[in-house]
Every structure is written in structure tokens, then in C-alpha cells.
Amino acid sequence: MTDDSAPKPAPRVLTDAAKRALAEAEARRAAATAQDLPPEDGGPRGPEPTRYGDWEKKGLAIDF
């Protein structure tokens, strides 16, 4: 059974500086995704193995 009578925490009140920081971070993320990068020559097929914590050696992706 769950105890539904436990009080819920009050919503957090953000300061003006925190709101500005969140807005700046959101703008940075939007700008980073909007960049048009040239295609990579000679890169791995599919997703980058190192992005997922794997490393590629001699064509094989290995995990440490």
C-alpha cells in the first residue's frame, strides 16, 4: 500500500538570476542544435561509438 496522506513538497520559487540562467541555457541549446555542420569524411558508420562510452579499435567497438 502507498501512503497518499504524505504532504507534497511546495513548488520551488526561482530567483531572477536562476530564471535568467535557465533562459540563457535554453537559448544556448537552441543555437547548438541549429548549427549546420558539414558531413564527416571517413567517420564511423552510424552513431559515434565513443558517444556511448565505447571505443573503436581496428574497426571493433569495445567497452572498457
Q: Which residues of the chain have pLDDT under 50?
A: none
Residue 2 belongs to a domain: no
* Distance from C-alpha of 49 to C-alpha of 38, rounded to nearest angstrom: 19
Domain containing 47 equals 16-61
Residue whose C-alpha is closest to residue 52's, from 44, 3, 28: 44
Residue 54's pLDDT is 64
Residue 52 domain-assigned (yes or no): yes
Q: What's the structural domain count of the chain?
A: 1
> Can you give the pLDDT at residue 30?
86
Instruction: Confirm whether 32 is domain-assigned.
Output: yes
Q: What are phi and psi for residue 32, nearest 5 degrees?
A: -70, -35
In a domain, 9, yes or no: no
Which residue matches cell numbers 535557465? 22
Confidence (pLDDT) at 41: 78
